[in-house]
Amino acid sequence: MSSKKFSLQVKERILALQFYTVDPLFAQLFSQCFVKIIMSGRAVLTKHDVISYLKDSIENGDLELDWSDETIQTASRKFLTILKKLSYLEGKSKKRVKEIYNGSDFLIFYHYWLRALGDTSNVFESDLFDLLLITQEKYVFLMKQTEIRDSLDWQYTGNRFTVEPKLPLNEYVNEL
């Protein structure tokens, strides 16, 4: 991996990784609301989708929050704004899902991130896999890129995908 600056798109994906890792509400909204809507084939996400998810989750006890309707609406708007700023969405009131491309720079960083969190036993079972917004088949295809193979060792056994970065974490950080 050559030492160079990341593109804006890679930086946005990295910021999403950070949000997902440190903010449990963001992670739950992303995985359980946003990803499920995308995987169902819908291309538009509205604040009403997020509000409905939040209200249902609070009612069912999945989220232990005592929020007013106004707070739920504010959280919904802020979540959609964050997704828009991170280039997952575009548009005004009805947010359209943008095409997400996970390039080799981001995928390499992603695996060093997993390594730092100690989450490399099976990439497919990682909580962070949802952030890639791709199928397992597409992921395997992307991992076969030469630049990725030069930076990461991986094994795929059909239902298990393990990755070991070739450089120690501190050397990778120095490369950046």
Measured distance CA(68)–CA(56) in Å, rounded: 14
Could you tell me if 93 and 108 lie in one domain? no
pLDDT tens digits along 53-107: 999 999 998 888 899 999 999 999 999 999 999 999 999 878 899 988 888 999 9
DSSP for residue 61 = T
How many CB atoms neighbour CB 115 within 10 A?
A: 18
Q: Which of 97, 129, 159 corresponds to the end of one domain?
A: 97
DSSP 91-114: SSSSEEEPP----HHHHHHHHHHH
Predicted local distance difference test score (pLDDT) of residue 174: 66
* Cα 125 to Cα 100, 144, 164, distances in angstroms: 21, 20, 16
Average pLDDT on 5-10 reads 86
pLDDT tens digits along 125-174: 998 998 898 889 999 999 999 999 999 999 999 888 999 888 887 777 76
Predicted local distance difference test score (pLDDT) of residue 79: 97
Measured distance CA(103)–CA(64) in Å, rounded: 37
Residue 78, domain CATH? 1.10.10
Q: Which of 44, 73, 97 corresponds to the end of one domain?
A: 97
Residues in the chain, how many? Answer: 176
Predicted local distance difference test score (pLDDT) of residue 26: 96
Establish if 1 belongs to a structural domain.
no
Could you tell me if 56 and 108 lie in one domain? no
Predicted local distance difference test score (pLDDT) of residue 176: 57
Take residue 92 and report the two structure tokens written for it. Answer: 């005004």
Measured distance CA(123)–CA(112) in Å, rounded: 12
Could you tell me if 127 and 79 lie in one domain? no
Could you tell me if 70 and 89 lie in one domain? yes
Could you tell me if 92 and 141 lie in one domain? no
Could you tell me if 156 and 121 lie in one domain? yes
Measured distance CA(126)–CA(131) in Å, rounded: 10
Establish if 131 belongs to a structural domain.
yes
Range of the domain at 150: 104-175
Could you tell me if 26 and 65 lie in one domain? yes
Predicted local distance difference test score (pLDDT) of residue 117: 86
Statement: residue 4 has pLDDT above 70: no
Could you tell me if 69 and 29 lie in one domain? yes
In the sheet with 95-97, reading across from the earlier edge strand, the strands are 44-45, 95-97, 89-90
Predicted local distance difference test score (pLDDT) of residue 96: 92
Could you tell me if 90 and 50 lie in one domain? yes
Could you tell me if 19 and 87 lie in one domain? yes
Q: Which of 71, 97, 123 corresponds to the end of one domain?
A: 97
Measured distance CA(108)–CA(148) in Å, rounded: 6
pLDDT tens digits along 26-61: 999 999 999 999 989 999 999 999 999 999 999 998
Predicted local distance difference test score (pLDDT) of residue 5: 74
How many domains, the chain? 2
Predicted local distance difference test score (pLDDT) of residue 45: 93
- Largest Cα–Cα separation, the chain: 51
Establish if 2 belongs to a structural domain.
no
Helix orientation angle between 104-117 and 8-22, rounded to the nearest 10 degrees: 20
Predicted local distance difference test score (pLDDT) of residue 55: 96
